[in-house]
Chain A
């Protein structure tokens, strides 16, 4: 046996086909505002922003094991940054989106220094305290509209069609961008470090993983995504109220989406967002009961099927759309060594072995 008795593979033929299909979906998705109704485009904007939230929360909670219930902090900061840079500084409102992401990321650095002192469940509440603190600072600031908030007038004045098209494409960029960030991060060294931290922080530290720095990276990236996507959401909504922009309901929807779709996978949040919107279309008229039902489903899934829908699919069919796992292919294997011959090294799931 030579020392090349096996090769480490990541992409299989089937995944290349999946990649092609995904590119096609994005291409068709980009053309939506040109032919679809305004209502459809608006629904898709909220779909894409929620998808971005879900991917960014999953990066933090699913891949790094840091459960945050305070990511609404960065949605609110993104919204207010959009208003500040477009209405106060006079920048083009669409430029406010990347700037909002950068502002959120900058604020995330000192925030991380504080909340990283807490762990597990206390980290979760700590992030919530921080979000509440930012909300109260803005609600008490009369320069920023105080408790009644502000309206992004520059975006409202730019003309219906241009705002719709621009916001839609921004939403698409933010959603696809958040998926790509997670995808390439997971395929990098940092991705390996990340999952090792989630599974055993002490062990990974003893193997030379720079735990604190890796966590900081992920936290800041997640804040960047939430800030930019939050700005997109408010390009659509225009009216920013501190209680709504910093509402924990944002994070509640996000967590339910991720849990239902599947924690710790790129596919899970996508599926979760689709399920969320499908349920919303049929149940929206029941108001708060819809949220109660979502919560109940999320609890049931966490107790009895922690991998969510995507975990269930994987257990039964062993498919993977985004090749972030490393597979081991033995050299002796003859015949078409497609997915079946590849034994995936588990890098996903919330601690549950495949």
Chain B
């Protein structure tokens, strides 16, 4: 039992959890709604990659691009077709109920088409190759790449939000929807783009998680919960916070699973609830809960 190794694995896993969390945080940040089907869309993306990998024999790592594009389209259509209608009047309950319904539908459609069996995506030898640091400490290439991807997505999102014109429109809509509309910003289009981006990011998360472990139709809810826990631990409104939240969660799960195999997720939940009790605003909160 090598604790340094366990903690390192937990940190790297946290990078993927941060990916799940980032998409959730983007949607909440821009339109103050929570997508309860978020995790299920990640699983859907993994199945999209699986279908193409089986048919064309392409490495699933390249297929993340396909999954991202498909999920971006799904997100854009979902927002314009359903959620924008339900959000009229500032009702936060209706979008929540719609995404809950979607979660159940996606899960059962996947179950109907692909059965309840666990599936895996095989990216080839990269999955098992690792760099040895010291005798006992080794970093797998794939977990390292996943972590790097999580960091890269956060950097890109930060630059997008702070440096581009569209990013400014995102922030303006987030701060004051009515004022933003007076300045000529089409908030419905911003919402659709935000949902598209959110699902494209969760597609990355879903495919990488699918390569790292296995996936099945019913696992989407658990992925949503991990992303959510990372958001709350890190503090709402801060993308770097979600990375830290993901790392805290990943390490907690790794330690729990080491103590007793069934305790991984339970340990993560307990740490989350403890932080909620002690520091409900998270570590890096920028915005007040609303």
Interface residues of A (CB under 8 A from B): 61, 65, 67, 69, 113-114, 117-122, 124-126, 128-130, 132-133, 136-137, 139-140, 147, 248, 252, 255-256, 259, 263, 287-289, 291-292, 294-296, 298-299, 302-304, 306, 350-351
Question: Are B91 and A140 touching (Cβ within 8 A)?
Answer: no
Q: A252-B100, A295-B102 are in contact. Are A121 and B89 (CB under 8 A)?
A: no
User: Complex formed: what's the CA distance from A165 to B250 in Å?
Assistant: 50
Write 24 A-B pairs (CB below 8 A) sorted by A numbering.
Answer: A65-B93, A67-B93, A114-B276, A120-B96, A121-B28, A121-B92, A121-B96, A122-B232, A125-B224, A126-B276, A130-B273, A132-B222, A132-B225, A132-B265, A248-B221, A252-B100, A288-B112, A291-B104, A292-B104, A292-B105, A292-B109, A302-B101, A303-B98, A304-B85
List A contacts of B272 (CB < 8 A).
Answer: 129
List B contacts of A132 (CB < 8 A).
Answer: 222, 225, 265, 269
Chain A CB within 10 A, most for which of B108, B277, B289: B108
Closest approach, in angstroms, between the C-beta of A90 and any C-beta of chain B? 30
Question: Are A259 and B104 touching (Cβ within 8 A)?
Answer: no
List A contacts of B100 (CB < 8 A).
Answer: 69, 124, 252, 255
Closest to B260 in A: A140
User: Complex formed: what's the CA distance from A150 to B229 in Å?
Assistant: 31
Question: Are B97 and A298 touching (Cβ within 8 A)?
Answer: yes
A137's contact among B266, B276, B277, by CB below 8 Å, is which? Answer: B266
Closest to B33 in A: A121
List A contacts of B89 (CB < 8 A).
Answer: 351
Question: Are A296 and B105 touching (Cβ within 8 A)?
Answer: yes
Q: A136-B262, A292-B108 are in contact. Are A122 and B94 (CB under 8 A)?
A: no
Question: Are B86 and A303 touching (Cβ within 8 A)?
Answer: yes
**Chain A interface helix/strand/loop/mixed:** helix
**Chain B interface helix/strand/loop/mixed:** helix
Question: Are B269 and A133 touching (Cβ within 8 A)?
Answer: yes
Chain A CB within 10 A, most for which of B82, B94, B289: B94
Question: Are B266 and A129 touching (Cβ within 8 A)?
Answer: no
List A contacts of B92 (CB < 8 A).
Answer: 120-121
Question: Are A128 and B108 touching (Cβ within 8 A)?
Answer: no
- What class of interface size applies to chain B in its complex with A? 35 or more
Question: Are B86 and A120 touching (Cβ within 8 A)?
Answer: no
User: Complex formed: what's the CA distance from A61 to B91 in Å?
Assistant: 13
List B contacts of A351 (CB < 8 A).
Answer: 89, 91, 93
B36, CB-defined interface residue at 8 Å: yes
Encoded as 1 (CB less than 8 Å from any A CB) or 0, chain B from 88 to 124 comes to: 0101111011101110110011011000000000000
Question: Are A140 and B266 touching (Cβ within 8 A)?
Answer: yes
A69's contact among B32, B36, B94, by CB below 8 Å, is which? Answer: B36
User: Complex formed: what's the CA distance from A140 to B82 in Å?
Assistant: 40
Question: Are B276 and A117 touching (Cβ within 8 A)?
Answer: yes
Question: Are A255 and B97 touching (Cβ within 8 A)?
Answer: yes
Closest to B83 in A: A303
Closest approach, in angstroms, between the C-beta of B39 and any C-beta of chain A? 10
User: Complex formed: what's the CA distance from A119 to B232 in Å?
Assistant: 12
Question: Are A119 and B109 touching (Cβ within 8 A)?
Answer: no
Question: Are B97 and A118 touching (Cβ within 8 A)?
Answer: no
B167, CB-defined interface residue at 8 Å: no
B34, CB-defined interface residue at 8 Å: yes
List A contacts of B35 (CB < 8 A).
Answer: 121
B280, CB-defined interface residue at 8 Å: yes
B215, CB-defined interface residue at 8 Å: no
User: Complex formed: what's the CA distance from A256 to B101 in Å?
Assistant: 8
A114-B276, A255-B97, A294-B104 are known contacts; what are 7 more A-B pairs with Cβ within 8 Å? A121-B92, A122-B28, A124-B36, A129-B229, A132-B222, A287-B112, A303-B86
Question: Are B280 and A288 touching (Cβ within 8 A)?
Answer: no
